[in-house]
Chains A and B, each alone.
Chain A
Amino acid sequence: SQTIHQWPATLVQPVGSPLSLECTVEGTSNPNLYWYRQAAGRGLQLLFYSVGIGQISSEVPQNLSASRPQDRQFILSSKKLLLSDSGFYLCAWSVRGGKNTEAFFGQGTRLTVV
Protein backbone atom coordinates (compact mmCIF):
# COMPACT_ATOMS: atom_id res chain seq x y z
CA SER A 1 0.00 0.00 0.00
CA GLN A 2 1.04 3.58 -0.54
CA THR A 3 2.17 5.81 2.29
CA ILE A 4 3.33 9.39 2.50
CA HIS A 5 5.70 10.72 5.12
CA GLN A 6 6.33 14.28 6.16
CA TRP A 7 8.83 15.56 8.66
CA PRO A 8 9.27 17.19 11.01
CA ALA A 9 5.79 17.35 12.54
CA THR A 10 6.46 20.65 14.23
CA LEU A 11 9.13 23.28 13.78
CA VAL A 12 9.91 26.60 15.42
CA GLN A 13 12.39 28.73 13.50
CA PRO A 14 13.66 32.31 13.93
CA VAL A 15 13.10 34.91 11.25
CA GLY A 16 15.87 34.85 8.68
CA SER A 17 16.80 31.22 9.21
CA PRO A 18 16.68 28.61 6.41
CA LEU A 19 14.00 25.98 6.02
CA SER A 20 13.88 22.47 4.65
CA LEU A 21 10.77 20.30 4.85
CA GLU A 22 10.84 16.85 3.36
CA CYS A 23 8.14 14.61 1.97
CA THR A 24 8.52 11.07 0.66
CA VAL A 25 6.06 8.65 -0.86
CA GLU A 26 6.29 4.88 -0.73
CA GLY A 27 4.50 2.18 -2.67
CA THR A 28 3.99 4.03 -5.94
CA SER A 29 6.00 5.33 -8.87
CA ASN A 30 5.88 8.54 -10.92
CA PRO A 31 3.41 10.33 -8.66
CA ASN A 32 2.30 13.93 -8.92
CA LEU A 33 3.50 15.69 -5.78
CA TYR A 34 2.11 18.80 -4.12
CA TRP A 35 2.93 21.28 -1.37
CA TYR A 36 0.04 23.14 0.25
CA ARG A 37 -0.02 25.71 3.02
CA GLN A 38 -2.86 26.29 5.43
CA ALA A 39 -2.68 29.57 7.35
CA ALA A 40 -4.61 29.90 10.60
CA GLY A 41 -8.35 30.02 9.91
CA ARG A 42 -7.87 29.88 6.17
CA GLY A 43 -8.18 27.36 3.38
CA LEU A 44 -5.54 25.31 1.65
CA GLN A 45 -3.33 27.21 -0.75
CA LEU A 46 -1.42 25.30 -3.41
CA LEU A 47 2.22 26.38 -3.34
CA PHE A 48 3.99 24.01 -5.72
CA TYR A 49 3.31 20.88 -7.69
CA SER A 50 5.50 18.51 -9.63
CA VAL A 51 4.72 16.02 -12.37
CA GLY A 52 8.23 14.58 -12.52
CA ILE A 53 11.83 14.77 -11.30
CA GLY A 54 13.13 18.30 -11.60
CA GLN A 55 9.76 19.61 -12.84
CA ILE A 56 8.35 22.20 -10.48
CA SER A 57 5.37 24.49 -11.01
CA SER A 58 4.89 27.43 -8.69
CA GLU A 59 1.40 28.68 -8.03
CA VAL A 60 2.09 31.84 -6.08
CA PRO A 61 5.07 34.18 -5.79
CA GLN A 62 6.62 33.77 -2.38
CA ASN A 63 9.65 33.31 -0.24
CA LEU A 64 9.70 29.55 -0.75
CA SER A 65 11.05 27.13 -3.32
CA ALA A 66 10.56 23.44 -4.03
CA SER A 67 12.70 20.69 -5.46
CA ARG A 68 12.19 17.10 -6.52
CA PRO A 69 15.57 15.40 -6.54
CA GLN A 70 14.12 11.90 -6.71
CA ASP A 71 10.91 10.44 -8.07
CA ARG A 72 9.25 10.09 -4.68
CA GLN A 73 10.89 12.91 -2.77
CA PHE A 74 9.62 16.48 -2.60
CA ILE A 75 11.39 19.20 -0.62
CA LEU A 76 10.15 22.63 0.41
CA SER A 77 12.84 25.19 1.18
CA SER A 78 13.52 28.76 2.07
CA LYS A 79 16.81 30.63 2.36
CA LYS A 80 15.44 33.17 4.85
CA LEU A 81 12.16 32.69 6.64
CA LEU A 82 9.65 35.49 7.17
CA LEU A 83 7.03 35.74 9.90
CA SER A 84 4.38 35.34 7.20
CA ASP A 85 5.75 31.88 6.36
CA SER A 86 4.19 30.50 9.53
CA GLY A 87 1.49 27.96 8.87
CA PHE A 88 0.60 24.33 8.43
CA TYR A 89 2.35 22.74 5.46
CA LEU A 90 0.91 19.69 3.81
CA CYS A 91 2.40 17.39 1.22
CA ALA A 92 0.20 15.29 -1.06
CA TRP A 93 0.48 12.85 -3.94
CA SER A 94 -1.75 11.53 -6.70
CA VAL A 95 -1.37 9.22 -9.67
CA ARG A 96 0.26 11.05 -12.55
CA GLY A 97 -1.74 11.85 -15.64
CA GLY A 98 -5.08 10.63 -14.35
CA LYS A 99 -8.20 12.65 -14.72
CA ASN A 100 -10.01 10.76 -12.02
CA THR A 101 -7.39 10.09 -9.44
CA GLU A 102 -7.54 10.40 -5.71
CA ALA A 103 -5.15 12.60 -3.76
CA PHE A 104 -3.56 11.52 -0.47
CA PHE A 105 -2.07 13.77 2.16
CA GLY A 106 0.66 13.56 4.75
CA GLN A 107 0.14 14.52 8.38
CA GLY A 108 1.55 17.98 7.94
CA THR A 109 4.27 20.17 9.45
CA ARG A 110 3.34 22.97 11.81
CA LEU A 111 5.85 25.79 11.18
CA THR A 112 6.07 28.74 13.55
CA VAL A 113 8.43 31.53 12.62
CA VAL A 114 9.39 33.67 15.61
Chain B
Amino acid sequence: KQEVTQIPAALSVPEGENLVLNCSFTDSAIYNLQWFRQDPGKGLTSLLLIQSSQREQTSGRLNASLDKSSGRSTLYIAASQPGDSATYLCAFQDTDKLIFGTGTRLQVFP
Protein backbone atom coordinates (compact mmCIF):
# COMPACT_ATOMS: atom_id res chain seq x y z
CA LYS B 1 0.00 0.00 0.00
CA GLN B 2 1.30 3.40 -0.99
CA GLU B 3 2.19 5.67 1.92
CA VAL B 4 3.11 9.31 1.53
CA THR B 5 5.02 11.31 4.11
CA GLN B 6 5.66 15.04 4.14
CA ILE B 7 8.41 16.67 6.14
CA PRO B 8 8.38 19.03 7.92
CA ALA B 9 4.83 19.02 9.22
CA ALA B 10 5.05 22.74 9.94
CA LEU B 11 7.46 25.51 9.06
CA SER B 12 7.68 29.16 10.11
CA VAL B 13 10.19 31.43 8.37
CA PRO B 14 10.86 35.12 7.74
CA GLU B 15 10.05 36.36 4.29
CA GLY B 16 12.81 36.20 1.70
CA GLU B 17 14.03 32.74 2.64
CA ASN B 18 14.35 29.93 0.13
CA LEU B 19 12.41 26.86 1.26
CA VAL B 20 12.43 23.14 0.57
CA LEU B 21 9.43 20.97 1.32
CA ASN B 22 9.86 17.22 1.17
CA CYS B 23 7.55 14.45 0.14
CA SER B 24 8.43 10.75 0.21
CA PHE B 25 6.52 7.68 -0.95
CA THR B 26 6.96 3.95 -0.51
CA ASP B 27 6.02 2.56 -3.92
CA SER B 28 7.98 3.80 -6.95
CA ALA B 29 5.32 2.54 -9.37
CA ILE B 30 3.50 5.85 -9.56
CA TYR B 31 2.08 7.61 -12.59
CA ASN B 32 2.67 11.21 -11.68
CA LEU B 33 3.10 13.68 -8.85
CA GLN B 34 1.10 16.79 -8.10
CA TRP B 35 1.71 19.58 -5.61
CA PHE B 36 -1.23 21.53 -4.18
CA ARG B 37 -1.74 24.54 -2.00
CA GLN B 38 -4.59 24.79 0.50
CA ASP B 39 -5.54 28.01 2.23
CA PRO B 40 -7.44 27.69 5.55
CA GLY B 41 -11.00 26.54 5.02
CA LYS B 42 -10.59 26.41 1.25
CA GLY B 43 -10.25 23.82 -1.46
CA LEU B 44 -7.00 22.73 -3.10
CA THR B 45 -5.24 24.71 -5.79
CA SER B 46 -2.99 22.80 -8.14
CA LEU B 47 0.53 24.24 -8.26
CA LEU B 48 2.61 21.84 -10.32
CA LEU B 49 2.20 18.50 -12.07
CA ILE B 50 5.23 16.32 -12.80
CA GLN B 51 4.43 13.59 -15.28
CA SER B 52 5.98 10.16 -14.93
CA SER B 53 8.52 10.79 -17.68
CA GLN B 54 9.62 14.13 -16.22
CA ARG B 55 11.99 14.96 -13.40
CA GLU B 56 10.95 18.49 -12.57
CA GLN B 57 8.57 21.34 -13.29
CA THR B 58 8.82 25.07 -12.67
CA SER B 59 6.25 27.80 -12.26
CA GLY B 60 7.43 31.24 -11.23
CA ARG B 61 9.14 30.95 -7.85
CA LEU B 62 8.16 27.31 -7.49
CA ASN B 63 10.18 24.32 -8.62
CA ALA B 64 9.21 20.71 -8.00
CA SER B 65 11.37 17.67 -8.63
CA LEU B 66 10.63 13.97 -8.73
CA ASP B 67 13.04 11.08 -8.14
CA LYS B 68 11.07 7.88 -8.49
CA SER B 69 14.04 5.62 -7.75
CA SER B 70 14.55 7.13 -4.30
CA GLY B 71 10.85 7.69 -3.66
CA ARG B 72 11.14 11.43 -3.18
CA SER B 73 9.78 14.72 -4.39
CA THR B 74 10.73 18.21 -3.29
CA LEU B 75 9.00 21.56 -3.67
CA TYR B 76 11.38 24.49 -3.73
CA ILE B 77 9.99 27.95 -3.00
CA ALA B 78 12.33 30.81 -3.82
CA ALA B 79 12.26 34.16 -2.02
CA SER B 80 9.27 33.30 0.15
CA GLN B 81 6.56 35.89 0.77
CA PRO B 82 3.81 36.21 3.41
CA GLY B 83 1.30 35.35 0.68
CA ASP B 84 2.91 31.91 0.42
CA SER B 85 1.52 31.03 3.84
CA ALA B 86 -0.68 27.97 3.41
CA THR B 87 -0.62 24.19 3.68
CA TYR B 88 1.22 22.43 0.88
CA LEU B 89 0.20 18.91 -0.10
CA CYS B 90 1.81 16.41 -2.43
CA ALA B 91 -0.18 13.68 -4.11
CA PHE B 92 0.67 10.69 -6.27
CA GLN B 93 -1.51 9.21 -8.93
CA ASP B 94 -1.98 5.48 -8.40
CA THR B 95 -4.02 4.11 -11.34
CA ASP B 96 -7.29 6.03 -10.96
CA LYS B 97 -6.64 7.47 -7.52
CA LEU B 98 -4.73 10.34 -5.97
CA ILE B 99 -2.93 9.46 -2.75
CA PHE B 100 -2.15 12.44 -0.53
CA GLY B 101 0.51 13.24 1.98
CA THR B 102 -0.41 14.84 5.30
CA GLY B 103 0.87 18.25 4.26
CA THR B 104 3.32 20.91 5.39
CA ARG B 105 1.85 23.98 7.06
CA LEU B 106 3.92 26.98 6.06
CA GLN B 107 3.90 30.40 7.69
CA VAL B 108 5.97 33.21 6.23
CA PHE B 109 6.13 36.27 8.44
CA PRO B 110 7.13 39.80 7.37
Are B51 and A100 neighbours in the complex by a CB distance under 8 Å?
yes
- Encoded as 1 (CB less than 8 Å from any A CB) or 0, chain B from 83 to 101 comes to 0000001010100111111
B-chain residues with CB within 8 Å of residue A105 when the two chains form the complex: 36, 43-46
B-chain residues with CB within 8 Å of residue A42 when the two chains form the complex: 102
Q: Is B60 in contact with chain A by the CB < 8 A criterion?
A: no
Q: Is A87 in contact with chain B by the CB < 8 A criterion?
A: no
Cβ < 8 Å to B, chain A residues 20-57: 32, 34, 36, 42-44, 46, 49, 51, 57
Main SS at interface, chain B: strand
Assess A99 versus B43: contact at CB under 8 Å? Given A42-B102, A43-B102, A92-B98.
no
Are A43 and B34 neighbours in the complex by a CB distance under 8 Å?
no
A60 to chain B, nearest CB (A): 12
Q: Is B41 in contact with chain A by the CB < 8 A criterion?
A: yes
Assess A103 versus B96: contact at CB under 8 Å? Given A43-B102, A90-B44, A108-B43.
no
A79 to chain B, nearest CB (A): 26
Assess A99 versus B32: contact at CB under 8 Å? Given A106-B43, A107-B43.
yes
- Encoded as 1 (CB less than 8 Å from any A CB) or 0, chain B from 48 to 59 comes to 010111000000
A5 to chain B, nearest CB (A): 11
Are B46 and A103 neighbours in the complex by a CB distance under 8 Å?
yes
Are B42 and A49 neighbours in the complex by a CB distance under 8 Å?
no
CA distance A42 to B89 in the complex (A): 12
Complex A-B: 7 CB contacts under 8 Å:
A44-B100, A46-B98, A59-B97, A90-B44, A94-B98, A99-B32, A108-B42
